[in-house]
Amino acid sequence: MFRLEARTSTPAWFNLALPLVAIATTLILCSGLIAVTGAGVIEAYGVMLSASLGDSYAITETLVRAAPMIFTGLAVAIAFRAKFWNIGAEGQLLAGAVASCFVGAIPMPGYLAMLLMALAGAAAGALVALVPATLRVKFKVDDVVSSLLLNSVIYYALMALIEGPWKDTFSGYPISPPIEDSANFPVLIEGTRLHLGVVVALIAAPLCWFLIARTTLGFRIRVTGENPEAARYGGINVQRVLLSTALLSGALAGLAGVGEVGGVHFQVMSDISPGYGYSGIVVAMLARLNPLGVMPAAIFLAAVMTGAEAMSRATGVPAFLSDVIQGTALLAMLVALLFTAYRIRRVGASS
Amino acid sequence: MAGRPERGVQRSPPWLAGSQIQGAPLSAPLIEMRGITKSFGAVKANEAVDLSVAPGEILGLLGENGAGKTTLMNVLFGAYAPDAGEILVEGRAVAIHNSADALAAGIGMVHQHFHLAPRLTVLENLLIGIPGKSGRIDRAGGLARLKEIGRQHGLNLDPNLPVSALSVGEQQRLEIIKALFRGAKLLILDEPTAVLAPSEVDGLFAALRSMAAQGLGIIFISHKLNEVRALTHRCVVLRHGKIAGRVDHPASTTSAEMAKLMCGHEIVPPVKQASTPGASVLTLDGISTASHAGTPLREISLFVRAGEILGIAGVSGNGQRALADVISGMLAPKAGAMTIAGKAVAQFSPRELQALGLGRIPEDRMTTGLVTNLPLADSMVLPRIGTEAFSRRGLLNPTAIRAFAEAQIKAYDIRCPGPMVRAGALSGGNLQKALLARELAFDPKVLIVSQPTRGLDIGAARFIHEKFLAMRVKGCGIIVIGEDLEELLMLSDRIAVMYEGRIAGTLPSAHATVARLGLMMTGAEGHA
C-alpha cells in the first residue's frame, strides 16, 4: 500500500525534473495511440523529431510556431503568479491580431508601422484582459469563467468583422485585407520564415523573468498571488496589482497576435490561431510559471505541432496526435505538481 | 483491511461503542506507546519515546515548539508511520495507518485546526463517514447519541445549527463530541486552550474532568503550565524528541520546575524596569466602525504614551479585532479621529500608518503576517519593499533584502536554514520573531500587537516579552491586545477592558487583578 505524505520542502532540481518526467510520461502514454494506428512508435516519434528539430530549416519553423506560444505562455505565467486566472489569452491574442492588422494596413514607413502595430496589438490585448480583471476586482466575478467566455465573444466578433464590413474585397474570402508590404516583419534568415517577432519573443521571456524576480511590481505580483491578505496588511494595493497584472498579461497575449499578423499571415483570418492562447496555459504550467521556463516549454509544444504534420504524412498517424500530446502533457504536469507538495511513501503490507 | 485491529465482537453501530470503557481491565493501560522513533530526513522528531495513558487519566504532554509533541500524536493518530516502536491499545499491539484505524482503535483527536464542514449542520458533521442504514443517513440514531453525550458530559450543541454559525469554542466542543461520537476511549487535544477565552477554558476543563471520571483517557497538549497543573494527573515532558522528564504530581509541582524540564534551563521572569511615560504617541478619539465583520467599535477613545504599554483585555469577539484592524490600517472607521505622534491619520492605509511610525504585528501570523510559500526574506521586507531600503525606482535590491534578513535572523536568533527558506517551514515562535524583527528594525514610535505569544512556547514567549519591555524603556508606546490576563498584567502599565465594542474601563496595572478584570470583561463593572 502506498500513501501520500506532506513534504516539508521541495528540492530545487524538481523544477527541471517535473516537466521532463511529465513530458516523458506523455510520450509513453501517447505511444499507445500511435501503436493503435499500426505505425511504429519509434519511427513516428523519429519523424516528429527530425521534422521539427532535425535541420536548420525545421528549427526555424519550430521557432516561428513557438513565438506566439512564448508570448501566451508568458501572459499566462505572469497572470497565474498573481492568481489572476487568465484563461483568455486566446481572445487577447485575436484582439491583438485585429488591432495590429488595422494599423498595419495604413500606409506609413515600415518601422513606424511595426512599432505602432505592436503598441496597438498590446493595447488591444490589455484592454480585453482588463474586462475579467475589473469584473473580479469590482464585482467578485469569477475570472476563470469570464476570461474563458470572453474568448468566444472576441472570436465571433472577429468572424463578424471578416465576414462583413472588413471582408477582403480583392479575394472575396472571409479574410481581412492584408497589411502593407512595408509593414511585414523582416525575415532574418533568407529562405525561412524566421521573422523579427520571433527574436522579440525570445527577448521578452528574460525581460518577464526580470520583471517578476527583480522589480517591486514583480514582488507585489508574487506576494499578492501567494497571500493577498498578507499583501494587503503589508501595504500592497491588491486590486491595483491585479489590474496591472491583467494589463501586462493581456498585452503579452496581444503581442502573440501581432507576431502572427506581421510575421506569418500578414492579414487576419478565422484560423489565425490554432489555439495558441490555450496552449499558453500548457506552456506556463510546464514552465512552472517561470518566464525562463516558458521558452523551452513553448519550443517543445511547437516541435510537437510542427513534427506532427510530418509524422502524419510519413506514417499515417493523424496529426491530431499533437493536440492529444498537449492535453496529456498538461494533465501529466498537473499530476507531477502533486509531488512538490507530497511524497509517496510505502506503508507496510496492510491491505 | 486485514491490518485493522480487532475490536471484540461488537456489532453495535460505532457511536454506541464509547460506553464500553468500564470493561477495560485496570491493569492494562488504555494506550501504550513503546520506543516510538520517527525521523524527518536527518532530524529525529521522536526518539525512543515511551508513553502510556490509563483509563480515567488525564496525561499532560509538555514540550517547547519543535520538541516532537505533535509528531508523536500524529504517529498515534496514524498520520505518520513510526520508523520504530509499537502502539498497544488495551494491551494488544495495533497497526495504525490512518485516522480511520485510529478511530477504530478508540483514539480520537482534536487538532489545533478544526476539521469541520462549515456549511453542514452540527448533526451532519457528526454523521460524516458514519455508515447509515441501507444507504440512508441515520439522523434519529445520531440525534439520540448526541443527546446522550450531552447528558453524560455536559457537552451541548444545537444539532441543527450550521457549523459556520458556531463560535470557535463551540466548534471545538463539536470536535470533542465528534470524537466521542465515534467511540473514542482516548481523546488527544492539541493545545485546545490556545483558541479559547478564559471563561471557555473553565467549561472545557469541566467537560474533560467529567470524561475522565467516566473512564476515558485524555492526552492534553499545552504550553500553559498553570493549565497543565490545574487539569492533569500526570505529565510527560518532551525535549528534542526525547522524554526529558515525567511529573507525577503536577498540582504540587511548580511551573518553574516544569519549565526547567521543558527548556533544559531555568526560566527567569523578565524584569520590568521603571519607565516614565512621555507624551501621547497614539490617540483614538471617538472611533466607530461599520458593522461588517465581527463586533463593531462604538466610540472608542484611548491613548498610549511613549514608554508605556497599554494592555487591551476582553473576551474574544468584543471588538478587539476591529480595534486592531483600525489601528493597523486594515479597516477605515466610519467616525472618529486617530493621531500618531501628533499627526492626524487621513487614509487609514497600512502604508500611511507605517510612514507615520506605526509598527504592526498581526494576530494571525500565518495568514496575515507572512507569505508561507515564499522565502522568509520576502516576508521580512514585505511592508517596506517600496522604500529606499529595499528598492530604487521600481527595481529590487536583492543584496540589501538578503542582508537585512540575514542581520535580523542573527539579531533575533531566528532558527532557520537561511533567509531563502520557505517562511512556512519555520516554527510559530521563529515566525513571530521574524515579524517582530521586521517592525522593530525600523524603530516604530508606536507598536500594535495582537495575541503576541499565542501558541508560542515559554522560551519564545519570554523572548517576545523582553523585546516589548526593552522597546518600552526606549520610549516606544505599545498596545498589546490579548486574552491571557496574566501576560497582560505582567507587561502592561495600564489595562483597558473591551466589552461589546466599547472600552468598559481602564485600570492601572497596579490596581488590576485577574478577578477584577474578569468581572469587567463580562460587562459587570465599569471603571473609567
Query: What pLDDT shows up at residue B22?
Result: 40
Tell me the chain B residues in contact with residue A223 when contact means C-beta distances shorter than 8 Å.
371, 374, 378, 382
* Dihedral sign computed on CA atoms, order A119, A121, A124, A130: negative
What is each CA distance from B125 to B105, B114, B133, in whole angstroms?
21, 12, 17
Whether residue A47 contacts residue A307, with contact meaning beta carbons closer than 8 Å, is answered with: yes
B425 or B220, which is more confident: B220
A231:B349 CB<8 A: no
Split at pLDDT 50, 70, 90, the class of B25 is very low
Whether residue B118 contacts residue B164, with contact meaning beta carbons closer than 8 Å, is answered with: yes
User: Which three three-digit cell numbers place residue B376?
Assistant: 522568509
Q: Report the range of poorest mean pLDDT among A6-20, A136-150, A178-192, B332-346.
A: A6-20
Tell me the chain B residues in contact with residue A5 when contact means C-beta distances shorter than 8 Å.
80
Residue of B nearest to A222 (CA): B374
Alpha carbon of A71: minimum distance to chain B alpha carbons (Å): 23
Split at pLDDT 50, 70, 90, the class of B169 is confident
Tell me the chain A residues in contact with residue B40 when contact means C-beta distances shorter than 8 Å.
8
The residue type of B68 is G
% of chain A surpassing 90 pLDDT:
79
Number of Cβ atoms within 10 Å of the Cβ of B292: 8
Residue B10 has pLDDT above 70, yes or no: no
Among the ranges A169-173, B16-20, B91-95, B132-136, which has the highest mean pLDDT value?
B91-95
Query: What pLDDT shows up at residue B27?
Result: 52
Split at pLDDT 50, 70, 90, the class of A302 is very high
B297 or B66, which is more confident: B297
B→A contacts (Cβ < 8 Å), by residue, are 1-3, 40, 80-81, 95, 97-98, 328-330, 349-351, 354, 360, 362, 367-374, 378-379, 382-383, 385-386, 391, 394-396, 398, 421-422, 425
Beta bridge partners of B39: B44
Of B367, B368, B425, the CB nearest to A8: B425
Residue range B273-357+444-528, CATH number: 3.40.50.300
In the CATH hierarchy, which top-level class contains the domain B14-263?
Answer: alpha beta
What DSSP string runs through B406-457?
A: HHHHHHTT--SS-TTSBGGGS-HHHHHHHHHHHHHTT--SEEEEESTTTT--
DSSP three-state, residue B395: strand
Among the ranges A169-183, A284-298, B255-269, which has the highest mean pLDDT value?
A284-298
Q: Span B279-295, mean pLDDT?
A: 87
Q: How far apart are CA B292 and CA B87, in angstroms?
A: 50
Of A5, A218, A233, the CB nearest to B362: A233
Beta bridge partners of A3: A345
B1 or B387, which is more confident: B387
Helix, strand, coil % in chain A, rounded to nearest 5: 70, 5, 25
Which 210-239 residues of chain A touch chain B by CB within 8 A? Answer: 213-220, 222-223, 226-227, 229-236
Of B367, B373, B382, the CB nearest to A234: B382
Split at pLDDT 50, 70, 90, the class of B71 is confident
B347, B382, B420, B448: best to mutate for the A interface, most A CBs within 10 A: B382
Q: Span B48-77, mean pLDDT?
A: 89
B165 or B403, which is more confident: B403
User: Which three three-digit cell numbers place residue A320?
Assistant: 491530431
Q: Which of B48, B18, B55 is nearest to B33 (CA)?
A: B48
Angle formed at CA B428 by CA A216 and CA B374, multiple of 5 degrees = 25
A216:B330 CB<8 A: no
Residue B83 has pLDDT above 60, yes or no: yes
Q: How far apart are CA B498 and CA B484, in angstroms?
A: 14
Split at pLDDT 50, 70, 90, the class of B293 is low
Q: Which of B175, B180, B127 is nearest to B149 (CA)?
A: B180
Tell me the chain A residues in contact with residue B369 when contact means C-beta distances shorter than 8 Å.
230, 233
A230:B368 CB<8 A: yes
Name the strand (E) or helix (H) holding A88: none
Q: How far apart are CA B139 and CA B525, in angstroms?
A: 45
Cβ–Cβ pairs < 8 A, chains A and B: 92
Q: Span B465-475, mean pLDDT?
A: 94
Query: What pLDDT shows up at residue B381?
Result: 96
Q: How far apart are CA B421 and CA B424, in angstroms?
A: 8
Q: Span B58-82, mean pLDDT?
A: 87
Q: What's the whole-number average pLDDT of chain B?
A: 87
Query: What pLDDT shows up at residue B189?
Result: 93
Split at pLDDT 50, 70, 90, the class of A4 is confident
User: Which three three-digit cell numbers place residue B262?
Assistant: 521543558
Pairing between β-strand B391-392 and β-strand B395-396 as defined by DSSP bridges: antiparallel
Residue B292 has pLDDT above 80, yes or no: no
Q: Which of B330, B411, B408, B328 is nearest to B376 (CA)?
A: B408
B379:A345 CB<8 A: no
pTM, two decimals, is 0.81
User: Which three three-digit cell numbers place residue B309?
Assistant: 504599554
- pLDDT, tens digit, 9 for 90 and up, residues A235-268: 999 999 999 999 999 999 999 999 999 999 999 9
Q: How far apart are CA A162 and CA A175, in angstroms?
A: 5
% of chain B surpassing 70 pLDDT:
93
User: Which three three-digit cell numbers place residue A281?
Assistant: 496555459
B371, B416, B420: best to mutate for the A interface, most A CBs within 10 A: B371
Split at pLDDT 50, 70, 90, the class of A188 is very high
User: Which three three-digit cell numbers place residue A193?
Assistant: 520564415
Residues of chain B with CATH 3.40.50.300: 14-263, 273-357+444-528
A229:B391 CB<8 A: no
Q: Span B328-345, mean pLDDT?
A: 94
> Which residues have a Cβ under 8 Å from the Cβ of B503 and sit 6 or more positions away?
B300, B301, B302, B496, B497
3-state secondary structure A173-223: CCECCCCCHHHCCCECCCCCCCEHHHHHHHHHHHHHHHHHHHEHHHHHHHH
Helix, strand, coil % in chain B, rounded to nearest 5: 35, 25, 40
- pLDDT, tens digit, 9 for 90 and up, residues A277-291: 999 999 999 999 999
Whether residue A302 contacts residue A62, with contact meaning beta carbons closer than 8 Å, is answered with: yes
Enter the ipTM: 0.86
In the 8-state DSSP scheme, what is residue A251? Answer: H
Q: Span A121-148, mean pLDDT?
A: 97
- pLDDT, tens digit, 9 for 90 and up, residues B212-222: 999 999 999 98
B330:A227 CB<8 A: no
Residue B44 has pLDDT above 90, yes or no: no
Q: Report the range of poorest mean pLDDT among B54-63, B319-328, B368-377, B415-424.
A: B415-424
Split at pLDDT 50, 70, 90, the class of B155 is confident
B1:A234 CB<8 A: no
A4, A8, A343, A350: best to mutate for the B interface, most B CBs within 10 A: A350
Q: Is A7 on the interface with B (CB under 8 A)?
A: no
Domains of chain A: 61-340 (1.10.3470.10)
% of chain A surpassing 70 pLDDT:
97
Whether residue B508 contacts residue B493, with contact meaning beta carbons closer than 8 Å, is answered with: yes
Residue of A nearest to B355 (CA): A235
Alpha carbon of B437: minimum distance to chain A alpha carbons (Å): 14
A233, A288, A344: best to mutate for the B interface, most B CBs within 10 A: A233
User: Which three three-digit cell numbers place residue A306?
Assistant: 510542427
Residue of B nearest to A341 (CA): B373
Residue B489 has pLDDT above 50, yes or no: yes
Query: What pLDDT shows up at residue B167?
Result: 81
B66 or B256, which is more confident: B256
User: Which three three-digit cell numbers place residue B155?
Assistant: 457537552
Q: Span A225-233, mean pLDDT?
A: 96
Q: How far apart are CA A273 and CA A91, in angstroms?
A: 10
Split at pLDDT 50, 70, 90, the class of B17 is very low
Residue A350 has pLDDT above 70, yes or no: no
Residue B291 has pLDDT above 80, yes or no: no
User: Which three three-digit cell numbers place residue B86?
Assistant: 509499537
Left (φ > 0), alpha (ψ -120 to 50) or beta: where does B131 sit?
beta
